[in-house]
Chain A
Amino acid sequence: MSGENDVELVSVTKRYGSALAVDAIDVRIRGGQYCCLLGPSGCGKSSTLRMIAGHESISDGDILIGNRRINEDPPAKRGTAMMFQSYALFPHLDTVENVAFSLKMQGARKDERRSRAMEMLELVSMTDYADRKPDQLSGGQQQRVALARALMTRPSVLLLDEPLSALDPFLRGRMRAELRRIQRELGIIFIHVTHSQEEAMALADVAVVMKDGHIVQEGHPREIFNRPATAFVARFMGGHNVLELDGRTVTLRSDAIRLSRDAGSGQRRATIREVEYQGPQVHLNLATERGEEMAAILPERTYFADPFAPGDAVGVIWTQEDVHQVRP
């Protein structure tokens, strides 16, 4: 069953000369979903987004939006809108004119443009800054304007290219909540490119983890976090130990590990290398006797009930249920 607003990528490929940036990927994003394309830089996530947006030609394969093949359509005809990493606000236009740009292109009258732009600025709480030029706005404000401008065309799919990467961590958290709220209110698909697993986990209904132009795993972030398909995904998502057990590659969540003063107990003997205080939890780096590097995350209170010091010998304990086998 396919919904009428779904975005579907069918063996979509992007080649730059002989270099393969995106290698025949298949993705289906259902209407109303918040999708995050996640991966390290150079994994092809941005190229994928730009192909959906129409700013990059598709070397091979098809992109369908609402069951319509849009490979050759110009960006404005696809029902997509893009929010650029650098925001790409027109420096010579004020906030209202930036937001109303698409209406101006359609030839709408000036008062109509203004009133509709103000409505959209209301959505992103930027009405007070209507007459400012972009260089008079802060990064977070520029971003809201960029969001309003992108939403002005009433897209069925909003494409966001690393939208939060230029913001400071505090603002990033707030904008994240804002994006999620706006997506829920509008009920349209958001496709959000990011290299931050934290962002993807906070936002996505469905996350697509990419590496070297391939999709490694897709699903709800919780599913990906708890059942990483490969060692790469486990490492990329963080909070996992990747170990070799009886010739198998397995992952073990760092917060599933217990430490004992009795170095002989548990599955591994290890030495504490480093202790990092992180607020709600404490992060410990361990070196096992066998030369593995491991990490353990202990709740703050548990840790400080009996704190360790670097150099302490400990026994590393875990239960068999927490061991998850992955492809190497």
Chain B
Amino acid sequence: MERVHRGVTNAVNTGAGRAARPARTRRNPFAGTGGALALALPMWLVFALFFLLPLAVTVIVSFWEFTQYSIEPAFILRNYADLFDGCLEDLPYLCTTLKTYLSTLKFCFLVWLTTLILGFTIAYFLAFHVRTLPMQVTLFLICTIPFWTSIVIRMIAWIPLLGRNGLVNQALIGMGVTDAPLEWLLYSDFSVILALTHLYALFMVVPIYNSMMRIDPALIEAAVDSGASGLQTLTNVIVPLAKPGIIIGSIFVVTIVMGDFLTIGIMGGQQIASVGKRIQTEIQYLQFPIAAANAVMLLVAVMLAISALLRMVDIRKEL
């Protein structure tokens, strides 16, 4: 009888929408810490097998010893020392490693900037200028069309456009903008940034759009009502409220671009250094320990960048 009575009170509380205390009489088959862990186990297994284990192996191998013909388990710091060999002495001139990291960071920053500007603009247009939901969904799907083809094809498609005798150069010459073909269009910083932006802008669009869709349109009217100009509404209301989306998009883009070697390789005509490219080369020469050391350094760099981004927003609130 007591049980029933309590059940009713709980139901009433829940009905009022104010139930702070959970219904105690309801039986949860997975109640208790053991049950909760059991439920989380499959995810843990996947996480451990495909993330923690490879990571641990990478870290361990980065301390191994290697020569031209052998790799021996050991615990030496030589790989890390080799990575930055001569870097301190050469200052203020940058050693190859630092140059490579700086170049990667430069691409990372520039691509972050271009995808952010492009992504924010597209998301803003979709969220605030397109009025009907079906139209929003349609335009949104159109944004995803490039993802129907592989990354490599999307990159190679730029080559006939940007090449010395490509469409862009021909058009520019035809219009009389320039009389000689522009050399910097392809196999240059420009083409790398262009391709990376093209490939990853959507990763910026999606989270920002998601954040913007949660903004109550009345907030914008309230801002206008308070005398805010369009720009003021943007900086004082929309950007702060879209910030979680901006940060999440930034994390996507930063992590992808930091580790990229394919795009920088192809669009840079194999002439531009990047950390990813270097790791790939080292692996090709079977120098696993130094490649692992390099990968750990890259991981540290990426994690520093992400923790800096996360400081700017409470990501748990958004998810």
Which residues of A line the B interface, CB within 8 A? 53-55, 74-76, 80-82, 84-86, 88-92, 101-102, 104-106, 149-150, 152-153
Contacts and interface: CB of A to CB of B under 8 A. Distances in A.
B16 to A, nearest CB: 11
8 contacts: A55-B225, A76-B227, A90-B219, A90-B223, A101-B223, A105-B226, A105-B228, A152-B226
A89 B219 CA distance: 7
Given A76-B224, A88-B222, A102-B226, 18 more contacts: A54-B225, A55-B225, A75-B221, A76-B227, A88-B216, A88-B218, A88-B219, A90-B223, A91-B241, A92-B241, A101-B226, A101-B236, A104-B236, A105-B227, A105-B228, A106-B227, A149-B226, A153-B227
A81 B223 CA distance: 11
Interface residues of B, number: 17
Contact of A76 (B216, B225, B237): B225
Contacts of A55: 221, 224-225
Given A92-B240, A104-B236, A105-B232, A82 B219 contact: no
Residue with the greatest number of chain A CB neighbours at <10 A, chosen from B229, B236, B240: B236
Given A90-B237, A105-B232, A84 B227 contact: no
Given A88-B216, A91-B241, A92-B241, A82 B222 contact: yes
Given A92-B240, A104-B236, A74 B216 contact: no
Chain B interface secondary structure, helix, strand, loop or mixed? helix
Contacts of A102: 226-227
In order of increasing CB-CB distance, the 9 nearest A-B pairs are: A76-B227, A102-B226, A88-B218, A88-B222, A105-B228, A92-B240, A84-B218, A105-B227, A75-B225
Contact of A75 (B219, B224, B240, B241): B224
Interface of B: 216, 218-219, 221-229, 232, 236-237, 240-241
B215 to A, nearest CB: 9
B216 A86 contact: yes
Contacts of A76: 224-228
A187 B2 CA distance: 59
A147 to B, nearest CB: 13
Nearest to B239: A92
Nearest to B221: A55
A276 B57 CA distance: 78
A82 to B, nearest CB: 5
Contacts of B221: 55, 75, 82, 84, 88
Contacts of A89: 222
Nearest to B223: A101
Contacts of A152: 226
Nearest to A74: B224
Nearest to B237: A90
Contacts of B216: 86, 88
Nearest to B240: A92
